[in-house]
Amino acid sequence: MEQNKLDLTEIFRKILVKIDIVFHVIAALLLLVACGFILFYAFLNILEPSPSSIIELVNDVLLSLIILELLWTVIRFLKKQQFSLGPFLAIGIIAAIRRILLIEAKTSLMEHTPVEKLYEIGLGAVVIIMLMAAYYLSVKAQKLEQ
């Protein structure tokens, strides 16, 4: 009786693992498609150059980099490689830089820069510094483990 219970549990676990892998493959494909669409629209921005289209181009390219980092994380999972904190910190850094550039670009087109936007840029810079420090500590910790 106990052996049947263990066999049933193992079969159920294997089915769940296979379903999980299928969902990760689907997620990877959707990320790839999303990145393709974003780069396509970025290419369209090049065809009609203007200050706002250049801002959108930079925004789209940085967003595609974020999506590609997520895609590589899914690929590492599917290859059963060890979990790494680095890609998530890189995503955070890219996202914060993207936000700062977007705010700066939009405020450069304004006559007067609101103080709130300056605070937001400063906070973004602090986030970047903290994420870079976390990345540095993460790399140091990995070297100590080896």
Q: What pLDDT is attached to residue 111?
A: 82
Q: What pLDDT is attached to residue 77?
A: 84
Structure tokens at 15: 């089915």
**For the chain, which residues score pLDDT lower than 50?**
none
Q: What pLDDT is attached to residue 80?
A: 84
Q: What pLDDT is attached to residue 2?
A: 62
Contact 45, 56 (CB under 8 A): yes
pLDDT in tens, 10-46: 888 899 989 999 999 999 999 999 999 999 999 988 8
Q: What pLDDT is attached to residue 22?
A: 94
